[in-house]
Amino acid sequence: MSAKDRIDALKSGKKIYINIADNPNAKPDLLPEHLHNWGRDYVDKYSKQIEKYSQRYGLDPNITKAIIYSENSDYHKYGYNKLADIIKISESTLPMNIQGKTWGNFQGKQYDVNDPEQNIELGVRVLKSIYDAVPDKDIAKIATLWNGTGLKEVNDYGARAKEYYKNKTWNNPLEMPKFKSKKGK
Per-residue pLDDT at 185: 41
pLDDT digits (tens, 9 = 90+) for 12-70: 999 999 999 999 999 998 887 888 888 999 999 999 999 999 999 999 999 999 999 99
| C-alpha distances in Å from residue 148, one per residue of 64, 162, 169 | 16, 15, 23
pLDDT in tens, 106-122: 999 999 999 999 999 99
The string over 130-160, giving b where at least 16 C-beta atoms fall within 10 Å of a residue's C-beta and e elsewhere, is bbbbbeeeebbbbbbbbbebebeebbbbbbb
Q: Is residue 148 part of a domain?
A: yes
Q: Is residue 182 part of a domain?
A: no
Residue of higher predicted confidence among 1 and 184: 1
What is the rounded distance in angstroms from the CA atom of residue 53 to the CA atom of residue 120?
Answer: 7
On whether residue 137 sits in a domain, the answer given is: yes
Q: The domain spanning residue 72 has which CATH number?
A: 1.10.530
Residue 86 placed within a domain? yes
Range of the domain at 62: 3-171
Strands (E), 96-163: 105-106, 109-110
- Tally of structural domains, the chain: 1
